Structure formats: structure tokens, C-alpha cells
Chains A and B, each alone.
Chain A
Amino acid sequence: MFSRDTWKEIFETIQKNKLRTFLTGFTVALGIFIFVALFGMGNGLNNTFAKFFGQDATNVFYLFPGQTTLPYKGYKANRRIEFENEDLADIEKNFAMFMEYITPRIRRSGLVKYHEESNNYTTYGVGPAHQFSEKTMIMQGRYLNETDIKEKTKYAVIGRLVAKDLFKGAEPIGEFIDISGSVFKVIGVFQDDGGDNEERIIYIPYTTRQLIEKNTDKIDQIVLAFKPQIGYAGAMAFERSLDKYIRSKKIISPKDPNGLFIRNIADQLKQNQQFAGVLQLIISGIAFVVIISGIIGISNIMLFVVKERTKEIGIRKALGATPRIVTTTILMESIFITTIFGIFGMLLGIGLLKYLGNKLAEDYFITSPFINTGTAIFATILLIICGTIAGYVPARRAARIKPIVALRDE
């Protein structure tokens, strides 16, 4: 049945019915192409999304002190809460097993000068761990280290755009800049994926900042990262016990909404993941519908093809073709066509995604669209199988028609 002769007969039929072949093939190729392209672009959308929200570390808490609104344990309301260096040490001591790192952050703005150039920049007094929480990438020189913190060195790590604006392409490392009246030595230049504003920042040791400000030990914010192994539930539990700990330490009512703020990125991360999940669901839904309509399209064309061939089938049967041969031949033809065109459509779709790459990233938020090869192949095979079944039913019916009936429609 699968002899060379059978194949030759099939090829001849395919070759000599170009329009029919093209119509069938086109439907299949288009279906698969749209599926692959759509699915890939959906993935691209997800990529963009992940990039938007994935620029900073995701296992981070931000702790902000506030102003109490409730009187508590003999303290009046409207008391300003402040963090101190000691708090850092205490948190580190008490929660060591959950924590990866901790760093304070003291935010100031001021005029920064280098020779004739000057501009207003945000300066963060931070610890070395801040590099990880912001995913700061060092381009030149180095980041702040523990020694800088201990010795309260007047070193600064400047953003790529700060270097560009102030130094105009000159070598910034080892140069001295004036930050709000104090002279700092530039020891590193960094870049950050978070956008231009994040590259217009200057990092200095937080101890140095405190020294400049009359040797205070106050801290604006605390940034701390939990160990990713503790997972989402662990992070939430950690947040609760941290909240409780600080409230009792700082004597803030557990019910006070404004005494202490903890921003938990893990919580946001979960929401973001849920959003991405919904997006993926919508895309999958659309892709599914595309596949379904592709299947319907193929079924239609198959029905039409077999209908069109009823007379030919009658002639062949009169000449001695058995129903089995007729069905097999039609099926082999349809499988052959759908396979070839299906693969073609799939490759075309993948090619389009490859070609697009990041071309749509700016305007349409589609970054490096891609499709799992497995998914693409699965969809193609699904379409081929469905096309075959869709062709099989009418082919079988046509093969069973008495030749006299098939020949009658004249």
C-alpha cells in the first residue's frame, strides 16, 4: 500500500491539482503561522513585563519609619519614629537566619560640582549590600565596601549619566567631585537597567553621610533582603515578625497604620506573576481559538475537496479501485499536504519571531518574542491530525458511495 507506485500516484495528483493543493496547504500554513506568531508575541509581551518589574532584586523589604497616629504606652500620638544604626545591628542579630543582607539608605539631594560643570543629583548614603538590592552594575572602578563604611571614607560611586554630564568623556576614576560642599573621590561608575533616573544617582558610604550631618546615627530607610529559599509564605511570615519586632522596639501601637511602613517586593512580585499568568492565559486562549478556526478551515477545505472529487472517485471505483485504496490515497494526500505546509507555516512563524527580535520592543512592548519548539510542533501535529480526521470522514463516505451514484451527477 505504501509502495513507490502509490506515492507516485499521490504526487501526481498533488502536482496536477495545484489550486486544490495550494488552498489546503495555505489554510494549514496560515493557521500554524498565526498560531506561532501570536503565541510568540504573547511571550514577547511577557518578556517586556518581566523586564519592567524585574529590574531590582525581588526578595527585598523596604522599611520606612513614619509618624505615629495613636498614643501608645504613655507616648503621645504624632511622634516621629526614626531608625538608627543600632536598629540595623539588632535586626541583623535577631533575624540572621531569614536574612541575606541588610543596608540602610539615606537619601539627599544637592549640587554636585566638578571643575566648571555642576548639576543637582540625588545622593544615597548606603552600605555595600545596596549594590545587590538595586542590581547595580559596576562599569569602572569598584563599589563601596565594608572598609569604606568603617573608615567613613569620602568615596563616591557615580551613575553612568553623572559621569557623562560632569566629566564629558574624561576619565572620572580618581577625580574629586564636590557634593554639597564636601569633596569626594570617585572610585566607581555604575549602570542600572532601571532607566535614566537610576543612572543619575551617586552612592556614598552611609557612615560618611552621617559624619557630615553632625555625626548622627539616624537612618532614613532600611533595605533588607530575605533568603529566597524561605519562599513566598516564609517572606510573608518574616515580614509579620519583623513588623512586630520593630513596633515593640520603637514602641508603636500594633494598630497604628502610620508608625511603620514595610514595602514587601515579594507581595508585589506575586501580583506581577499573577498578572503575567492572566496575560499568558489570554494569549493561550486566543491561540487556542486560532487553532480551532484553523481546524475548521481545514475541515471545510477537506470536505470541499472530497465533494469535488466524488465523480473522480466514482470513475476510479468503476475501474476497480476498492474503497480502501480510495480512502488511503485521499488520506495520504491530505497528510502529505498538511505536513509539508504545516511545517512550512511553523518555520515561517518562527522565522518571523526571530526576525522581529526586539524591533517591536519600543512601540508595542514585545521583547524577543519566542515560542517553545515543543509547543509549535505540538500545534502543528494537532492541526495535521485534525485535518486528517476531517478529511477521513468525508473520504470514507465518498469511498462507500456506489459508483453509479457518484457517476450520476452530470
Chain B
Amino acid sequence: MIEIKNLHKSYKMGSNSLHVLKGINFSVEEGELVAIMGSSGSGKSTLLNILGMLDEADSGEYTLDGVPIKNLNETKAANYRNKFLGFVFQSFNLINYKTAMENVALPLYYQRVARKEREKKALMYLERVGLKEWATHLPSELSGGQKQRVAIARAMAAEPKVLLADEPTGALDSKTSLEVMELIQKINDDGNTILIVTHEADIAQMCKRIVHLKDGVIVEDKKVKQVRASSYVQ
């Protein structure tokens, strides 16, 4: 599903440049649930942003679902994002003046899905994250966990090839984190490919594979026995 070869990325910080990714080689199969771990500054978010086409690599190859991702202009990137990727952010990034349902329906709007169809689908995905009765509420009326679930529903609504989650539990308490992880595992069980960036070991343990990043290189890449989030919930 994802193929990365010799990926480099550096940021200019005034006069000196900061080499963040120093040759990443990495691939993800369909249906995997991968945790990308590392301390802050290890380059894990940068890697995810490049995977999500929110940012561009300096050099290296990136193939997503057989499509080489290169020479992206903003329009092309937007179309690829819309078609291939779903995003879940640490800070939820819901549009605050749109209701839960409208937020979920937004990627479908950019796919030019008809309005009725959009609403139907959005409701369906909200139901899947257990928030159907909150459909008409604004983000400000939802709790953190609920917001993240709406965000996940939104990411799923476009039926992406890959779901990218940047610290999805970073802003949540441990109980809510478990609920969100349970949802992510459930979505993965349905066959969706998911990448999670996290620095929390217990969250990483709930994935099927852990990739350790340190100073811009992969230091460890191992399959783990998945811990089900439901096992924590009494």
C-alpha cells in the first residue's frame, strides 16, 4: 500500500538547516495498523505529514497504492488527499461552525457527492463511531473524545486507502484514549490501513506493528502482539 525509499527532508532554520529525515525506507501492507514511535524531534510527525502529502520530501520515492507521488502541486495533492487519505489530528481540527454531521460530510463535498447522499453517508459514519444522536451538535458542544470520534468519522467518510492519525490520543485522558483506540482497532479490523504517530508506549502496543524513529532514521521495525483496547475497559 505504501512504499517509501530513501526519503530525506530538512528544514531551513535561519542560516542552518535541520536534517529531520535521513533516509527512511519503509513499506506498509494493506490492512496493517502501524504505530510510528519516537521522542519529540525524532521526525515522526514530519514522516506522517509527508505520507499525508501535507508536506513534501526533499528527495526519495513515495508510492501510494501503486501511484508514484511526486511533483505535487497543491491541486494535485488536494485531489490525492481527497481520494487516498483520511486524517485524524491531535487537536481534532473540526470546523467549529459546522455541526458534527456537516464536518463528517465535508470530504464528500469535495468529492462532489450529492447532498442527500452526503448526509446519508455522514450519518452512517457517525453511527459507526456511536455519535448518531450528536449529529446536529456543534464541536463546541462535544467532549474531547467525542470530537476525536467525529474526526475519525470524517476521516473514514471519504473511504480512504490509508488513515493517518497524528497523536490521536494526545489531547485526551487515558479513559477516552482507550475508547478512541478501541474505535481505531475496530476500523482496522474492517480491513483499513492505519498509521498512528504516538509517543505513548501503551498506545503503540495496541497496534500490530511498531516503527521506532530516532534522529531521523528507523532504528527498530517490529511486529507486536496487539493489545486490545477493550481488554482495559472494565
Q: Which residues of A pack against B, CB within 8 Å? A: 5, 8-9, 12-13, 16-17, 311-312, 314-325, 399-400, 402-404, 407, 410
Contact = CB atoms under 8 A, between A and B. Distances in A.
A13 B95 CA distance: 11
Contact of B54 (A9, A311, A404): A404
11 contacts: A5-B109, A12-B102, A316-B110, A319-B106, A319-B110, A319-B154, A320-B81, A320-B82, A322-B78, A402-B74, A403-B54
B54 A316 contact: no
Given A13-B97, A319-B110, A402-B74, 13 more contacts: A5-B115, A9-B109, A311-B93, A318-B54, A318-B81, A319-B106, A319-B158, A320-B81, A322-B74, A322-B75, A322-B79, A399-B74, A407-B54
A400 B73 CA distance: 10
A312 B95 contact: yes
B55 A404 contact: yes
Interface in B98-120: 98, 102, 106-107, 109-112, 114-115
Contacts of B75: 322-324
A316 B78 CA distance: 9
Contacts of A315: 93-95
Given A5-B109, A16-B98, A404-B49, A319 B81 contact: yes
A316 B106 contact: yes
B89 interface: yes
A407 B48 CA distance: 14
Interface bin, chain B: 20 to 34
Interface in B43-75: 49, 52, 54-56, 74-75
B78 A320 contact: yes
A306 to B, nearest CB: 15
A399 B78 CA distance: 11
Contacts of B97: 13, 16-17
**8 tightest CB-CB pairs across the interface, nearest first?**
A320-B82, A320-B110, A404-B54, A16-B97, A322-B78, A319-B107, A322-B75, A323-B74
B121 interface: no
Interface string B80-91: 011100010101
A320 B95 contact: no
Contact of A400 (B74, B89, B107, B114): B74
Nearest to B118: A5
Nearest to A20: B97
A407 B89 CA distance: 10
Given A323-B75, A400-B74, A410 B91 contact: yes
B93 A323 contact: no
Contacts of A13: 97
A5 B117 CA distance: 12
A375 to B, nearest CB: 38
B55 A319 contact: no
Contacts of B83: 320
A375 B97 CA distance: 39
Contacts of A400: 74
A248 B73 CA distance: 92
A402 B110 contact: no
A320 B74 contact: no
Contact of A321 (B91, B110, B115): B110
A399 B75 CA distance: 10
A123 B172 CA distance: 101
Nearest to B102: A12
Contacts of B79: 320, 322
Interface string B190-220: 0000000000000000000000000000000
A312 to B, nearest CB: 6
A325 B107 CA distance: 13
B173 to A, nearest CB: 19
Contact of A317 (B78, B89, B94, B102): B78
Interface string B104-141: 00110111101100000000000000000000000000
A322 B109 CA distance: 12
